[in-house]
Amino acid sequence: MALALTAGCDGGAIGSGGGPGSDGGGLGDGWYGTSEGGGIDPNLKPEQCGNGLDDNGNGDVDENCGCQPGESQECFPGTAAQKNKGICKSGTQQCSGSGEFYLWGACIGAVKPQPEICGDGIDQDCDGSDPPCPGKQQCETFTVGVHSRPVDIIWAIDQSGSMASEIAMVRQNMNAFASYISNQKIDYHVVLVAKRSGHSRAVCIPQPLAGPSCADGQRFRQIDQVVNSHDALSKVMAHIASIEAFLRPSSLRHFVVVTDDESSVTSTAFDAFIAARPGYKDYIFHSIVGLTKGGCVADDGQQYIALSNKTKGLKFHICNANWQTLFNQLGQNVATASTLFKLSKTPKPGTVQVTIDGKPAVPNVDYQYDAAINQVKLLGTPKDGSKLQVCYEA
């Protein structure tokens, strides 16, 4: 007599008789029957009734387990360790049957574990991780506000006779500018090219950005050189080694020139000089200059304007500048670096995959990858502390 014919005949539905592998009910998975009898398949673990899981790994949940008419339960076609991790989701199964034979039906709405695809930022096998592909793919993890790209800002201030009031405005607003970008979780350095003392229009930056008596500070360095009407760019070029001694290799670099005159160095010559040096592939140039001739302007700053246009920097007319607004806009532009993340190696084309807080990110919707500078930019305004994982084949 096959056990399959007698199960449940002792006063109950199938599952009430305590078959092998059951928790007080049912034959459980792993039972097999033949014309000569049956037994437990040694290659399958027994199904444990009542836990809503796939204990024997055959893709079904609580199969051959008895239940009460009208009952439903949460179910998951996997293990407890996989449940609701990665792509996996629980479903629901209903008790169905007739007479005294009621069994759990299919698990509806569940997502099962799948074979893992290494390094795509998705946990297909629901083990809580997405492993990199051995020897091919690597992943880098960044935290917004901790690993965001650092910023270095290089200022050059014209100290000619017509610039006294503008120098006063720069000095008055520089600390508010530094405070703003600091509050955006930006790791910043400021370099100022201007004579700090011993000059009738000295540019002396007070604490807390600078040190005591306008000395250098933790985030501030001053290149103590006089900048005249036409030589802001030439002074930057002449002292580039001293400037770069305070810059970081991976930083986003901003230049800001304040002058009411034109440059003796052309925009083409300056751009070629800077572009030939490491670390300036995506530099940004901002101009606080004469945008038009006349008024307070000795000459309009066409070379500076051309650099701002080329690098998508900001332009302000020096005669009617609202200096507080000007510095706020500069700060906002600089603060976009909180969404920039430089990769340590160069990915093969088409292999970059990104997750944000464990969720797959969509290119050009959630992020952009710029191959020219090997950088990922998050779009929108990610919250401070968000986790960004970038996986790619190097």
**Element housing 327 (H / E):** helix 323-335
Q: What is the pLDDT of residue 27?
A: 36
What percent of the chain has a predicted confidence (pLDDT) above 70?
88
- The residues spanned by each domain of the chain are 10-113, 151-339
pLDDT at 141 over 90: yes
Residue 40 has pLDDT above 50, yes or no: no
Write the pLDDT tens digit of every residue in 84-119. Answer: 999 999 999 999 988 888 999 999 999 999 988 876
Mean pLDDT to the nearest integer, 276-303: 94
pLDDT of the residue at 57: 84
pLDDT at 153 over 90: yes
Percentage, residues of the chain above pLDDT 90: 61
Question: Considering Cα of 165, then 270, then 332, then 299, what sign does the dihedral take?
Answer: positive
Q: Is the pLDDT of residue 348 over 80?
A: yes
What is the spatial distance between Cα 47 and Cα 107, in angstroms, rounded to a whole number?
15
Q: Where are the alpha helices (DSSP H) in 45-110?
A: none
> What are the angstrom distances between the C-alpha of 165 and each of 214, 232, 321, 327, 359?
19, 18, 12, 16, 52
Tens digit of each residue's pLDDT (9 = 90 or more) over 251-264? 999 999 999 999 99
Q: Would you state the pLDDT for residue 15?
A: 32
Read off the pLDDT of each residue in 292-300 and give the average, rounded to a whole number.
91
**pLDDT exceeds cutoff 80 at 74:** yes
**pLDDT score of 43:** 58
pLDDT at 338 over 90: no
Choose among 65, 119, 110, 105: nearest CA to 91.
110
Q: What is the CATH code for 151-339?
A: 3.40.50
Confidence class for position 39, pLDDT limits 50, 70, 90:
very low
Confidence of residue 18 (pLDDT cuts 50, 70, 90): very low
Segment 163-186 shows an average pLDDT of 90
Which band of pLDDT confidence, cut at 50, 70 and 90, is reported for residue 285? very high
- Specify the range with the lowest mean pLDDT, choosing from 49-53, 214-218, 321-325, 356-360: 321-325
Residue 17, pLDDT > 70, answer no
**Average pLDDT over the chain, rounded to whole?**
85
